[in-house]
Amino acid sequence: MQQVNLGMIGGGTVGSGVFHAWEKNGGLMAARLGVQLVFRKIAVKSFDEPRPYPIARNLMTTDWQEVVNDPEIHIVIELVGGTGIAKTMVLAALAQGKTVVTANKALLSTHGPELFAAAAKSGANLYYEASVCGGIPIIKSLREGFVANQFPAIYGIVNGTCNYILSRMKAEGAEFADVLADAQKLGYAETPPDLDIDGYDAQHKIGILASLAHGFWADHHAIHTEGIREISKVDMQFAEKLGYTIKLLGIAKQISGKKPGVQVSVYPTLIPNAHVLASVNGVFNACFVRGDIVGDTLFYGRGAGKDATASAVLSDVADAALDLKNGGKVRVAPFVACVKGGRIAPMDEIVSRYYVRLCVLDKPGVIAKIAAIFASAKIGISSVFQPESQTGASVALILMIHDAPNAAMRKALAKIAKLPVVKNKPVMIRVENFE
């Protein structure tokens, strides 16, 4: 049986998880692949750093270059993270013609085209299934399983931290800050949590999916990104009354009209309770993929953690081993730029429905003033909800808005915010009906 040697950079939570999974099921993989997978060297920060699973001491080194420069190593697994030294490591491995397997979504989002070009130049390959949604095989599905499809829309709950926080806010009627603090104690949120709760982790992931789906690389700078800091338990409660659940969605959707393009964005969204994504709770991820031929499909599972990520990493290792078994030929390119002039539509061009919460004085004529501003902007109001209060006191005013361009909505809310009867900054959350 042919032997393929593995080297890994990173022996922490995920790295030790990969090694543990290989120890458990490496023999099964060999039987299925007809290739013996053998770890030769693993670079770690220190030999005694805490890790959930042990790694054999004789395999460890603290010098990552020993992994990259070892002529006996065929596949390099990069699990360091970040966009600094990790980029140097990956490029060094690719320059030597070694296949690289990575879980580094930030690196791919920021430097994807450069890394793919380096892989093509050296004749090596770059695999990254674990970079999006952990153990869910969404990358392989878009590249291979759905190769005959165009993708009118992809909707993803792709950040487990945000989904955990929003799920608990809804279930418990809790405030954002309280649930975040608890999530940090339980290890579901980092300290600081900005990358997750401000939407940037989801931005990296939906950008990768959008690129694969639409054939041009989505520049992360062009992806409109909002986090969940401004979501309150009040919004959760009103959304429930209206028949919706609030989720942080990554969206990649084809836009038609005078300026065709692709909407690629991340923001909190009201989802109808009847839709399957509304029931994805806790730290779980889900991707709802609409193909023009296959129709609607749903991918659901754990999006992070040592075991789910290890499953995806070893899946890529298996594909890379089969490449080597077949003479080193790259069977599936890491990314194929098949569309010229692809365009990410600016957020101001995007049309959607909206939920708006205002804090207003409860007095005659307030709704009329607000409605007049919307009317002048040619924005229609579909429904209005206002809880009872004592006259003269501030009260929440909830409006559901018909389809309107983001630019028009943004300008109208800026005018409404200046009205003397409006006491706080308006809260706006988009509504998605998956039509």
Q: What residues are annotated to the active site?
A: 205
Show Cβ contacts of residue 413 under 8 Å, excluding neighbours closer than 6 positions.
Answer: 356, 426, 428
| Tokens 């919004």, residue located | 235
Q: H helices then E strands: how many in the chain?
A: 13, 16
**What's the Cα-to-Cα distance from 88 to each of 62, 64, 81, 92, 111, rounded to whole Å?**
16, 11, 12, 6, 11
Residue 285's beta-bridge partner residues? 301
Nearest CA-CA partner of 310 in 126, 130, 80, 105: 130
Residue at 187: amino acid letter = G
Nearest CA-CA partner of 6 in 54, 58, 60, 76: 76
Q: CA torsion angle for 49, 53, 57, 61 (degrees, to 10)?
A: -50
Nearest CA-CA partner of 209 in 279, 145, 139: 139
Task: Please give the Cα distance from 15 to 23 (Å, whole number).
Answer: 12
Half-sphere CA count of 229, side-chain side, radius 13 A: 11
Task: Please give the Cα distance from 142 to 167 (Å, whole number).
Answer: 28
Residue 68: Cβ-neighbour burial (10 angstroms; 0-12, 13-18, 19+):
buried
- With H, G, I as helix, E, B as strand and everything else as coil, classify residue 306: helix
| Tokens 């104690």, residue located | 185
Task: Please give the Cα distance from 125 to 122 (Å, whole number).
Answer: 9
Buried b / exposed e across 75-98, counting CB within 10 Å, b at 16+?
bbbbbbbeeeebbebbbbbbeeeb
9 near 69, Cβ under 8 Å? no
Residue 150 CB coordination number (10 Å): 13
Show Cβ contacts of residue 44 under 8 Å, excluding neighbours closer than 6 positions.
Answer: 10, 11, 12, 15, 55, 60, 61, 62
